[in-house]
């Protein structure tokens, strides 16, 4: 589970190939990646139904924290976020710098043994999928990810004991809805634990937005053998009374299941999701007022070398409400999307 292994480092899958830079006072690790792709999707309204994109260009620099000192992690570049809702045609989550710039960066201080303090622009501990798509099994991000927190300024304290971590944080996450960060919330706090129990990696978190919503998130993952990984991400969310619409429900939940068969340099990641946004006609809006929906995504992946990949994806998203539009403006309740992506990890 990526959030367990390096819970605050977005480029977890590239660290094994990271290079070393010797600076004046410390050794710095360099990692990152570049991905380009072609995206196609039906029912995208009057916008284009296909597009070529540089979906990730990330350079990450980090330095290990030792002897009660201070280390750092920073990530700069650009990220575009293709989701099941837009099929990769439009750019979602306006909180991101879609041009080249700093995406995340924080200092890590070790005041005591087994205690660390991260301060700066943090990456969340919530959920199975993470921001750099090349570190995820699928190209597009799921509907469960779309309703989770992401990157925000704040402070996180983590206590480690054997195979377990316990954390608490306060931050200035303003949230987002349909790609906009214009919600009234002024911040959030979170508590949680990550670790390994009976051979299963887990992450359990509670996240509370001010004057917006709350969520409980559980991630379970396990490698059954060298050829098969599985994971489960369950999200339950509910709105504060100040954010709830009169006559509408205040809750929503999502379930995402991942199965990743691997055969030497070929893998076949599959993601299946189900989301519930309240009763039909009384949707909470947490999952874009779909009432309920399900998705299926399959992403055959070929790795010509250990740090390159070629992958092809097909996804189908079906909703109870007609939340999509065709090019003539007619409301639709499904979306079929496809993508081809090339990736190079530094």
DSSP 137-182: SSSSBPHHHHTS--EEEEEEEEEEETTEEEEEEEE-----BTTB--
pLDDT tens for each residue of the chain, 346 residues long: 434 333 333 333 444 455 666 555 567 888 999 999 999 999 888 777 888 888 888 999 998 887 778 999 999 888 878 889 888 886 554 445 556 788 889 999 999 889 999 999 999 999 999 878 889 999 999 999 989 998 889 999 999 998 899 999 999 987 765 556 666 777 899 999 999 998 999 999 999 999 889 999 999 999 999 899 999 999 999 999 888 888 899 999 999 999 999 998 999 999 999 999 988 889 999 998 999 999 999 999 999 999 999 999 999 999 999 999 888 889 999 999 999 999 999 8
Distance of CA 243 to the CA centre of its chain: 24
- The CATH number of whichever domain residue 129 belongs to comes to 2.40.160.10
Q: Using CA atoms, how far apart are residues 149 and 279, in angstroms rounded to an integer?
A: 24
Cα dihedral sign, 164-155-104-257:
positive
Q: What is the pLDDT of residue 2?
A: 39
DSSP class of 269: -
Q: What is the pLDDT of residue 252?
A: 95
Q: Which residues lie across from 254 on neighbouring strands?
A: 235, 275
Q: What is the pLDDT of residue 44?
A: 86
Residues 6+ apart with CB under 8 A from 106: 8, 72, 73, 74, 118, 119, 120, 121, 122
Q: Using CA atoms, how far apart are residues 65 and 73, in angstroms rounded to an integer?
A: 10
Residues 6+ apart with CB under 8 A from 24: none
> How many structural domains comprise the chain?
1
Tell me the whole-structure pTM to 2 decimals: 0.89
Look up the domain containing 218 and give its range: 2-345
User: What is the CB-side half-sphere exposure of residue 13 using CA atoms within 13 A?
Assistant: 20
Q: What is the pLDDT of residue 34?
A: 93
Q: What is the pLDDT of residue 11?
A: 37
Q: What is the pLDDT of residue 206?
A: 98
């Amino acid at each position: 589970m990526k959030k367990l292994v390096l819970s605050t480092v977005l480029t977890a899958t590239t660290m094994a190939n990271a290079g070393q830079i010797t600076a004046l006072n410390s050794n710095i690790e360099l990692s990152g990646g570049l991905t380009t792709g072609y995206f196609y999707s039906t029912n995208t309204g009057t916008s284009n139904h296909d597009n070529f994109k540089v979906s990730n260009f990330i350079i990450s620099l980090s330095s290990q924290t030792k002897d009660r000192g201070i280390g750092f992690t920073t990530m700069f570049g650009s990220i575009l976020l293709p989701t099941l809702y837009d099929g990769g045609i439009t750019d979602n989550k306006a909180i991101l710098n879609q041009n080249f710039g700093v995406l995340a960066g924080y200092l890590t201080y070790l005041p005591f043994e087994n205690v660390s303090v991260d301060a700066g622009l943090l990456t969340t501990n919530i959920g199975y999928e993470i921001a750099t798509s090349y570190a995820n099994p699928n190209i597009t991000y799921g509907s469960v990810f779309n309703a989770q927190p992401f990157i925000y300024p704040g402070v996180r304290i983590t206590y480690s004991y054997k195979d377990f971590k316990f954390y608490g944080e306060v931050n200035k996450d303003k949230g987002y809805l349909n790609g906009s960060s214009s919600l009234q919330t002024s911040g959030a706090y979170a508590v949680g634990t990550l670790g390994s129990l009976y051979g299963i990696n887990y992450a359990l978190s509670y996240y509370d937005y001010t004057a917006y919503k709350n969520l409980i998130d559980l991630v379970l993952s396990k490698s059954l053998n060298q050829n098969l990984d599985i994971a489960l991400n369950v999200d339950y969310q509910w709105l504060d009374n100040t954010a709830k619409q009169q006559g509408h429900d205040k809750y929503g939940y999502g379930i995402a299941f991942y199965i990743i068969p691997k055969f030497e340099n070929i893998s076949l990641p599959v993601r299946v999701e189900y989301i519930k946004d309240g009763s039909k006609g009384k949707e909470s809006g947490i999952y874009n007022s779909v009432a309920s929906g399900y998705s299926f995504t399959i992403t055959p992946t070929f790795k010509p070398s250990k740090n390159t990949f070629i992958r092809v994806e097909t996804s189908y998203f079906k909703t109870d409400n007609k939340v999509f539009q065709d090019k003539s403006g007619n409301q639709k309740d499904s979306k079929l999307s496809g993508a081809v992506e090339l990736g190079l990890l530094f």
